[in-house]
Structure formats: C-alpha cells, structure tokens
Amino acid sequence: MGEAQERLTIEESHGDSRWVATVPGFLRGMARGLDARGGRQRDLRMVRAVATLYPTLCQVERATHKGDGEEGGLLLDGTPFETAVNDDRAIERGLSVFDTAWASGAIALRAGNGKLIPPSRGKVIVPACGYSVDHVRHYFVDRAARLILRRSPKVYDRIVKDITDASKLPRLRYIASMQTLVINELIRGFEGNASKALFQTDEAMLDGLSRFRPAVMVALRESMDQEFPRLMGLDPEILKALADAFTVPEQARDIGPEVLQLSSPEAVHAVGAWDLHDITHRVNEERERRGLPPVKNPVYSTDIRTLRSVLGSEFGHLLERPAALLTVFGEAVRKLRDLDVAPRQACVEQMTLFCQRYIDYLTEEAVVSLFLLSPRDRANLPENRRPSIAEVFFIFEGLWNKKGFGRKFFENAVGSPEGAKALRLMMFDFNALKDRGSVKAAEDLAQITNNSDLLDTHIAKFTNSK
C-alpha cells in the first residue's frame, strides 16, 4: 500500500546524531547502535526525532485549533521547538496534536520490521529513538509535570506515580497554585494517599481548598482528626467561604469537627464574624514568668470557643441553624463579657434553653422577623431596640404555655412565611410595650405573654392552627 504524499514518516535515521550521517552506509547500523547506547543517548535521539516531526505538528495545530480564541489558540505554531518543550501548556497541546496527526495519517512511524506502526500499537518500539510511543508520551507528560511543579519539587516527588497521562496536567495546575503546606496537610488528612487527596477530589473542591491559609488548614486537620476527609464532601462554595472567613488557626481549632454542620456559605461567614481577641501580650507575659521565649505568631481567643463552652452539647445543634441565628448568637456572646457573674449565668442558661426548646422551629425568615434583622429594620432601629435572645425566649415560653397556642403554634405557624410576617409585627408590639415601660425585665415577658393579649394582635389568627 502506497504512503500518502503529505505524510511525514519518521524513519530510523530521524533520530541520528550528525556524526552518524557521516559514517559509510555499511557501518551506519553499528554507529547508530553506539548513538543509542544508554538512556541519555536514547533520550537525545528521541528529542531529535520529535524535533523532526514538530513542523508537522504545527501544521496540524493550525488546521485544528486556529480560531479557538486567545485561551485555546495556537501554542505550537510560531513557537520554536526549544521553547515549546519548556512550556507545559505547549507540551500538553503537542501531545494532543500528535495523537490527532498520527490517527489522521499526517504522521507515520516506521517500525524495525519496516512496516508502519498503527496508532493502536503504542507499545511498539520506534527505531528512531529506541522507545515506544507510550514511553515518549510519558516522558513529555513527566516533563510538563516537572515544569508545572518546578517550585514544589517535594510535592512532585509525592505524586509523581499518579501522573500517568496528559489528562492529569490541568489538575496539576490547580495543585501548583496551592501552598505546599496546604497540599501536605491534605495528603496527611487522607493517611498519605496523595492520589485520593489530590486527584480524586472534585475540581471545584480543590479550587476551594487551594484558598485556605496553611495554618488554618493545619488546625482543621488536627482538630477534625478522623473526620477531616469529610471536608471534601462539603459544597465547594462552603469551602471557599471557610477559606475566606476563617483567618486564624484558633477559629479552626475551636470549631473542630462541628465545622461540618455549617449548612451554607452565609452560615460560615456568620461564624467567621464572631469576635476574635488578641491575647498575645497576655500569653507572652505568662511565658516570660516561666522563662520561655515569646511566641512568634499572634495568639487569639475566639468567641467560637466561648460559645462552645456556654452551650455544651447544644453548640453543634446551633451551627446547623440559619445564618441569621448564628449572627444573633455571635452578638449575644459578645455582650456576655460585660456582665457580672449572676446575670452572665442567667443569660447562659437562657441561651442554652433557647437552643434546646425552640431553634428547631426557626427558619431564616422567622429569625429575621423575631430579631428585626431585615435591612429595613436594621436601618430604622438602633441595636438596643432589637430584641435579645432572652426577650424572645421568654415570649416563646409564654406562648408555649398559652391556651390556643402551644406546640401546634410553633409547629404550624412559626416556620411559615405568613407566621414570620406576623412575628415581625408582634415584635414591634413588644417594642411599644418597652417604650411605655410595661416591660421591666425580660423574665416578665413569659407572664405578660401568657396572661394577656398585649402581643396577640397579629398572631391570634394562628390560635389552634391545625
């Protein structure tokens, strides 16, 4: 069968050094054997053979990729061979174009028996270089991988065995964008399984994880322990929110495995906004008394830790709730610091009971209504006019025990859109009571709500609701 006129056929001679061509024909086989002795010499033959077919690759790329736009445009055509083999994206394109060219017949490879090697026989040795096409392909994939990870050689060493083909190169670019310590922590979190940590995770998740501060990632892995791999199962948007909102390792350390209970990016940002307190000076004073050097990095205490200690087992329960409620609790715990022991203990008890009894009934809309958190209400009401957890708790206590309301009111009305609207109006009635001096303390609200209709105007329609 005749060969196509336009086709470039790679013959054994295409890998020869210049000096081999000067050897008389009857000795050229022996010279070629010397030229291919050892891996380094075969590599040089391979590079010369690839350089020979490079102009054809440029032509095929021009025919198949011209007009792809700036990002997918020409990477080989117009680029010197020596430049292309030192550019990971050009290498990736070259491998793809080679497969197209070989399959289409634009390039042919001569085997040792004189026949052409079909594209399905990638393991057959090509005399021009002494290697199979599969070996050459792996050589250039590895070269591209080294170029991508040239600033992270230790990362390359850990994952080299997983870089099996060119399809892994885009993922490597994600990996290269991550800080080395973050990569190491991910791998440690998967018990050393680099393939699972870096190649089997969703691309969007890896993008989210690449944004983490290294110290925060270390703290997450340490505090989550065996639960750490479950971080990969979170929504990528939640991962991005965590990377953005958790700025110091103490936040990650103090939230621990309960971070998995945050259900939305908004919830993550709400918790991330809870107060941090720089205690570096205090820590260093203590270290000085003990004859220790000062710490190198700032040290913080967090309201995450404070609220965990306040709520105990209810802490995780709270984190599952809407972002608006997390904001309310973050503001509440901030105020605890200014209270004396007895009022503080009372507030802690009210916050805990609120979590135990009522938060499961609350939607985001209900929370916004109860605490007057809508943008309009925030703009029109000073902070001291917005209800506190204690005030809402005692109103709920009164409604729970009030005839015609009770459990059914909470089950059927509180979580509904119409119920949320009514709750907002009820809270304005409550503010009016405070303005008139009818409410002396939050504790009075249980009795006021239970024994009067002062707050019933807008919620009465839900009495005995089925």
pLDDT of amino acid 28: 54
Farthest CA pair distance, the chain:
115
Which string of b and e fits 234-257 if b means at least 16 CB within 10 Å? Answer: bebebbbbbbbbbebbbbbbbbbb
DSSP assigned state of 295: P
Q: Cα–Cα distance between 146 and 450 in angstroms, integer?
A: 73
pLDDT of amino acid 39: 63
- Conformational region of residue 403, where left means phi above 0, alpha means psi within -120 to 50, and beta covers everything else: beta
Residue 421 near residue 369 (C-beta atoms within 8 A)? yes
pLDDT of amino acid 172: 92
Residues in the chain where the model's pLDDT stays below 50: 1-5, 70-71, 465-466
pLDDT of amino acid 4: 41
State how beta strands 8-10 and 107-109 pair.
parallel
pLDDT of amino acid 207: 84
Q: Cα–Cα distance between 431 and 435 in angstroms, integer?
A: 6
271 Cα distance to chain centroid = 17
pLDDT of amino acid 1: 35
Q: Where are the alpha helices (DSSP H) in 246-293?
A: 249-255, 265-272, 280-289
Residues comprising the chain, all counted: 466
- Residue 369 exposed, middle or buried by CB count within 10 Å (0-12, 13-18, 19+): buried
pLDDT of amino acid 2: 39
Q: Looking at this protein, which amino acid is placed at residue 269? A: H
Q: Residue 97, Cβ neighbours under 10 Å: how many?
A: 25
Q: Cα–Cα distance between 142 and 138 in angstroms, integer?
A: 6
Tens digit of each residue's pLDDT (9 = 90 or more) over 301-318 = 999 999 999 999 999 999
Tens digit of each residue's pLDDT (9 = 90 or more) over 261-290 = 999 999 999 999 999 999 999 999 999 999
Residue 155 near residue 183 (C-beta atoms within 8 A)? yes
Q: Note every long-range contact of 406-410, with CB atoms under 8 Å and residues 24 or more positions apart, other chains counting.
A: 408/464, 408/465, 408/466, 409/459, 409/462, 409/463, 409/465, 410/358, 410/361
Residue 361 near residue 410 (C-beta atoms within 8 A)? yes
* Percent of the chain scoring above 70 in pLDDT: 91
- Residue 290 exposed, middle or buried by CB count within 10 Å (0-12, 13-18, 19+): exposed
